[in-house]
């Protein structure tokens, strides 16, 4: 099988809307490495878009899924329940931020978790409004798109979107948006767009993922909590990309001294299996009536078995600490290259959630240089993802299980791609 043949078949058989970044096709993968159908090897710093914090095919995950597969693969939890769903909910309830009673419901995708968090917040408050942020990404469903603060390519041609959704700017120091600007704009929404007493929830990413790995400053998160408390609004932390060890904590909200009422999670939760969750205050989670939450595949047994193994592996292999150390190594490497790569505008992030933003000599975003770095790295066998509202940020999402040797090899290729 040749990559070029598959590209031709893909173009004929699948719609262009399912945009595909690589022109090679996966054959097999192991930890932080991937091989295509022609036998070419790649170092995977994309990890299936932040899904593989525990690497490709971690033996413990494979074993847990094989054992589950030998017993049963699907009953629909809402029809015939199984103990592992409860066990995973209990484990997440203990680990998620907040020293209050919590409950967790499982879904399939990140967007579905977001949809359900909004449903739960509306049911709990009896209010319609939701406030999100520019540059935020919350998925490709109708509500996910409405909440997403980036038009191209996510929202083009798909409106109208659900109403009562409003956006405020997210703090972005490099582009001149301060915490105060952001909070002032939010307060302005309450004057010009919606009465705060009609707002059910404010949803935000503690570190914006698709938006460019912008880290929420502590005073911003504190201000959001204070605004929510003042007006009876629920605070939703969308941890779909930040969760499960990526930021040097199990959840990014552990970096702050405030807690959200609801947390959405997906991606690395189940290490490659489709599983998402909403965890939150027990009384809020209980607001929807029986039958209001769920879905045919929600909390699929194989995915739940994989997620239980993920928690085990993160803890027994101390991957969260390792991720933070790997992140520091990457940050040091990028900082060391700054003087020789004038396009580097900022190196930012937290834990292993690190990104580099490129700009031109006049300070404007440099998406062309970003694409060049990405394609030069790919030519040498390193898979990198871009992000950012201007497409001028490279984000790093290597598995936290990556070996030192493969990490060093990846960093070497990255340096070569940056220096040309
Ligand atoms: C913060 C955040 N929320 C929601 C989503 C949507 O998740 P999914 O693509 O699984 O629907 C993503 C996906 O990148 C995300 O990063």
Q: What is the pTM of this model?
A: 0.98
Q: Are 170 and 135 in contact (CB under 8 A)?
A: yes
Would you tell me how many other CB atoms lie within 10 Å of the CB of residue 35? 15
- How far is ligand 1, taken at its centre, from the CA of residue 342, in Å? 32
Same domain, 235 and 95: yes
Same domain, 245 and 290: yes
Same domain, 308 and 328: no
Greatest Cα pair distance, the chain, in angstroms, is 61
pLDDT at residue 69, as a whole number: 98
Same domain, 42 and 72: no
- How far is ligand 1, taken at its centre, from the CA of residue 203, in Å? 13
pLDDT tens digits, one per residue of 7-65: 999 999 999 999 999 999 999 999 999 999 999 999 999 999 999 999 999 999 999 99
Q: Of 262, 295, 316, at which residue does a domain stop?
A: 316
Mean pLDDT of 178-192: 98
Q: Work out the mean pLDDT of the chain and round it to a whole number.
A: 98
Same domain, 16 and 155: no
Q: Residue 162's domain spans which residues?
A: 61-316
Would you tell me how many other CB atoms lie within 10 Å of the CB of residue 379? 11
Same domain, 246 and 105: yes
Same domain, 254 and 361: no
What strands, in cross-sheet order, belong to the sheet with 199-204?
Answer: 102-107, 276-281, 262-265, 234-238, 199-204, 129-133, 165-168
Q: Of 316, 333, 357, at which residue does a domain stop?
A: 316
Q: Which two tokens stand for residue 302?
A: 């194989």
pLDDT tens digits, one per residue of 294-326: 999 999 999 999 999 999 999 999 999 999 999
- How far is ligand 1, taken at its centre, from the CA of residue 278, in Å? 13
Residue 208 beta carbon below 6 angstroms from any ligand 1 atom:
no
Bridging pattern class, strands 385-387 and 393-396: antiparallel
Mean pLDDT of 85-108: 98
pLDDT at residue 415, as a whole number: 98
Domain count, the chain: 2
Rounded to an integer, what distance in angstroms lies between the CA atom of residue 325 and that of residue 407?
12
Mean pLDDT of 256-278: 98
Alpha helices for 258-386 (secondary structure H): 282-285, 301-316, 319-337, 367-379
Q: CB-based burial of residue 237 (10 Å sphere; 0-12 exposed, 13-18 middle, 19+ buried)?
A: buried
Is residue 420 over pLDDT 90?
no
Rounded to an integer, what distance in angstroms lies between the CA atom of residue 400 and that of residue 177?
32
What strands, in cross-sheet order, belong to the sheet with 41-44?
Answer: 26-30, 33-36, 41-44, 382-383
Rounded to an integer, what distance in angstroms lies between the CA atom of residue 352 and that of residue 348?
10
Same domain, 104 and 227: yes
Residue 238 beta carbon below 6 angstroms from any ligand 1 atom:
yes
Same domain, 262 and 224: yes
pLDDT at residue 78, as a whole number: 97
Would you tell me how many other CB atoms lie within 10 Å of the CB of residue 192? 7
Q: Of 300, 316, 332, at which residue does a domain stop?
A: 316
| Alpha carbon nearest to ligand 1 atom 4, residue | 138
DSSP code of residue 172: B
Q: CB-based burial of residue 142 (10 Å sphere; 0-12 exposed, 13-18 middle, 19+ buried)?
A: middle
327: confidence class by pLDDT, cuts 50, 70, 90: very high
Residue 139 beta carbon below 6 angstroms from any ligand 1 atom:
yes
Would you tell me how many other CB atoms lie within 10 Å of the CB of residue 317? 15
Residue 111 beta carbon below 6 angstroms from any ligand 1 atom:
yes
Block residue for tokens 């700009």:
359
Same domain, 258 and 120: yes
Q: Which two tokens stand for residue 105?
A: 């419901």
Rounded to an integer, what distance in angstroms lies between the CA atom of residue 352 and that of residue 328?
8
Q: What is the CATH number of the domain that holds 299?
A: 3.40.640.10
Same domain, 120 and 227: yes
Mean pLDDT of 279-284: 98
What is the torsional sign of CA 258, 184, 147, 212?
negative
247: confidence class by pLDDT, cuts 50, 70, 90: very high
Same domain, 110 and 212: yes
């Amino acid at each position: 099988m040749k990559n070029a043949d598959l590209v031709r078949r893909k173009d004929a058989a699948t719609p262009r809307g399912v945009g595909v970044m690589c022109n090679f096709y996966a054959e097999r993968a192991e930890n932080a490495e991937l091989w295509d159908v022609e036998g070419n090897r790649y170092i995977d710093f994309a990890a299936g878009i932040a899904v593989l914090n525990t690497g490709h095919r971690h033996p413990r995950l494979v074993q847990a899924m094989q054992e589950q597969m030998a017993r049963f693969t699907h009953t629909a939890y809402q029809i015939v329940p199984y103990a592992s769903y409860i066990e995973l909910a209990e484990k997440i309830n203990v680990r998620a931020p907040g020293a209050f009673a919590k409950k967790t419901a499982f879904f399939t995708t990140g967007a579905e978790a977001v949809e359900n968090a909004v449903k739960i917040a509306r049911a709990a408050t009896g209010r319609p409004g939701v406030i999100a942020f520019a540059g935020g990404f919350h998925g490709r469903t109708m509500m996910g798109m409405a909440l997403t603060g980036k038009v191209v390519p996510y929202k083009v041609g798909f409106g109208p979107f659900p109403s009562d959704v409003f956006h405020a700017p997210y703090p972005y120091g490099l582009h001149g948006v301060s915490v105060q600007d952001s909070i002032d704009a939010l307060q302005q929404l309450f004057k010009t767009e919606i009465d705060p007493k009609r707002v059910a929830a404010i949803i935000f990413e503690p570190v914006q993922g698709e938006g460019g790995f912008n880290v929420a400053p502590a005073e911003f998160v504190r201000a959001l909590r204070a605004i929510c408390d003042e007006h009876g609004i629920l605070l939703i932390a969308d941890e779909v990309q930040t969760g499960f060890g990526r930021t040097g904590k199990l959840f990014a909200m552990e970096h702050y001294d405030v807690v959200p009422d609801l947390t959405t999670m997906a991606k690395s939760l189940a290490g490659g299996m489709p599983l998402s969750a909403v965890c939150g205050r027990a009384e809020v989670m209980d607001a929807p009536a029986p039958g209001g939450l769920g879905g045919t595949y929600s909390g699929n047994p194989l995915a739940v078995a994989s997620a239980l193994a993920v928690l085990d592996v993160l803890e027994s292999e101390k991957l969260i600490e390792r991720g933070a150390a790997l992140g520091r190594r990457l940050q040091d490497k990028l900082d060391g290259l700054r003087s020789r790569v004038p396009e580097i505008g900022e190196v930012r992030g937290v834990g292993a959630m690190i990104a580099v933003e490129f700009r031109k000599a006049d300070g404007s975003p440099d998406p062309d240089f970003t694409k060049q770095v990405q394609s030069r790295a790919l030519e040498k066998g390193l898979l990198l993802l871009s992000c950012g509202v201007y497409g001028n940020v490279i984000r790093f999402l290597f598995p936290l299980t990556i070996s030192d040797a493969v990490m060093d090899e990846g960093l070497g290729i990255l340096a070569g791609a940056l220096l040309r």
